[in-house]
Amino acid sequence: MDTLIDLGGGFASALEPVSLAFALLGVLLGTVVGVLPGIGPISAIAILIPVSFGMEPVHGLILLCGIYYGSMYGGSITATLIKTPGEVASAVTAIEGYEMARRGRGKAALATAAIGSFLAGTLAIIGLTFLSPVLVKLANVFGATEYFLLMATALLLASTMSAGSRAKALISIFIGLAVGLIGLDFQTGLPRQTFGMDLLSDGIDFTIFAMALFAIPEAIRNLALGRGAKDEIQSFGNDKWMTKEDWQRSAGPWARGSVVGFIIGILPGVGPSLASFMSYIMEKRISKRKDEFGHGAIEGVAGPEAANNAGVGGAMIPLFSLGIPGSATTALLLFVFTMYGLQPGPLIFRDETGLIWTIIASMYIGNIALIILNLPLVGVFVKLLKMPKEILFSSILVLVVIGAYAIEFSLFGLMMLGIFGVIGYLMEKGGIPMAPAILALVLVPLLEDNFRRMLQISGGSFAPLVTRPVSLSIIILMVAGIIGPIIFRWWVSRRKLLADVTVS
């Protein structure tokens, strides 16, 4: 009950006209900035942090929350329309979203992303509001062993993400792992796989890698095709709004994505990035239309977008309750809080009651502002695709270059972009999917750190994998998840065989 009263108080201050104006302004700024390739939520907040200084903490935080939501959605827009993800979560959206846009379904893709983000974001904040104290305990049963298993499971599942050869998906994962290990070893600070180049010691930036793999091959291929091949590509632009079928197909993924995203988001260090990948994998696994995945399945946009936003809400739980940032973006939020003199942690709910509930209330409002502002704009964004092809794709190349420059500010960063662009093109030629590599790049530090911690703690023994209840459960689920479908398929094919025999 106290929660409700506090939340009411929060709403009272967040609903003041000035606060509302800041929420809307934040969403608008965030969307505009997030649309620029290479500028995901992290950079958007970083770039716009100075704007919020000199404001009242409440207003500044409301503004930043709006920027955060806006830029996340902005990233989905570029991922969908020009296959240029600005951050991990929208890398997943780029898979199905772009395929939808190619088929003239860009509007539906953006709409399902916006609505899914809104619903999941709202659900997650409700979860944050009422379940925080219970859920924070979840973080305490997840030790290094469980994290390692979770990461390993995620990577195994990632090999089922893409259509086609399993071996090629595994190669993709290993490419991601290989690239992710470049740089200084987290544990010892020793350089690894830098081939003697100091410049490589900071590793390969995720955004550069993702932009290079997704956007560059697509742009180069389209430009190299020349005019003769102009028409076969897409019905870009002839767009329809979400149909009744789209709504029906999106509802389930929204709901499942919200739950998956929220739970994964709570785990510190994992955050929303894994959530969106997991949601995609799950939607693909349970879908009756598996064949549509990779060709613009709306479930593959609705689920991950919901999971991503729910994951953000989930990540706020360890942030607020323990002062532990669950993702890069929450780490940045933590930084912002501390700059306002707030110390997130167990005491924040007691010491800063008014402020914290205003922030939570402003998240609700930011979410609403997002959907009010962006749904009408969907049509405008989609119109951008009607530009002549050479102009569209050459602009994308320039924007991607700016994105890479804004990350590294060096010739080296630009060259990495070019080199990985070539690698991405060759991967595409060889039929190696991109998305598993991107997930692997994100997960490899977590996988390796926790593997090393697990063995360091156990003194080199693998026993904790089966002696700890939670890890044992994960293993059982994993085995069931792999063996189960095989048995199921065998059973189905046997029945079919029997049926065939009966018919004949």
Site for another protein in 57-96 (CB under 8 A): none
Q: Helix (H, G, I), strand (E, B), or coil: what is residue 294?
A: coil
Does 341 interact with another protein (rule: CB under 8 A)?
Answer: yes
Distance, CA of 70 to CA of 66 (rounded, Å): 6
DSSP 8-state code for residue 200: G
Which of 210, 214, 211, 230 lies closest to 222, judged by CA? Answer: 230
Q: Whose Cβ is closer to another protein: residue 375's or residue 397's?
A: 397
Structure tokens at 63: 């503004």
Question: Site for another protein (CB under 8 A): which residue of 4, 18, 197, 224?
Answer: 224
Does 299 interact with another protein (rule: CB under 8 A)?
Answer: no
Number of Cβ atoms within 10 Å of the Cβ of 384: 16
Does 487 interact with another protein (rule: CB under 8 A)?
Answer: no
Where are the strands (E) in 135-192, listed by range? 183-184, 191-192
DSSP 8-state code for residue 179: H
Which residues touch 339 (CB under 8 Å, ≥6 apart)?
A: 49
Minimum distance, C-beta of residue 15 to another protein, in the bound complex (Å): 27
Residue type, 167: A
- Using CB under 8 A, which of the segments 15-23, 200-208, 375-383, 472-480 binds another protein? 200-208
Does 248 interact with another protein (rule: CB under 8 A)?
Answer: no
Does 480 interact with another protein (rule: CB under 8 A)?
Answer: no
Minimum distance, C-beta of residue 42 to another protein, in the bound complex (Å): 5
Is residue 81 within 8 A of residue 385, CB to CB? The reply is yes
Site for another protein in 447-476 (CB under 8 A): 448-449, 451-453, 455-457, 459-460
Minimum distance, C-beta of residue 368 to another protein, in the bound complex (Å): 26
Q: Helix (H, G, I), strand (E, B), or coil: what is residue 205?
A: coil
Question: Site for another protein (CB under 8 A): which residue of 397, 465, 475, 478?
Answer: 397
Does 384 interact with another protein (rule: CB under 8 A)?
Answer: no
Question: Site for another protein (CB under 8 A): which residue of 47, 126, 131, 156?
Answer: 47
Which of 47, 437, 444 lies closest to 212, judged by CA? Answer: 437
The helices-and-strands tally (H runs, E runs) of the chain is 22, 2
- Using CB under 8 A, which of the segments 72-80, 126-134, 192-200, 300-308 binds another protein? 192-200
Distance, CA of 108 to CA of 291 (rounded, Å): 19
Site for another protein in 305-324 (CB under 8 A): 318, 322-324
Site for another protein in 102-131 (CB under 8 A): 102-103
Q: Whose Cβ is closer to another protein: residue 73's or residue 142's?
A: 142
Does 402 interact with another protein (rule: CB under 8 A)?
Answer: yes
Question: Site for another protein (CB under 8 A): which residue of 110, 120, 125, 334?
Answer: 334
Is residue 338 within 8 A of residue 86, CB to CB? The reply is no
Does 251 interact with another protein (rule: CB under 8 A)?
Answer: no
Strand partners, 183: 192
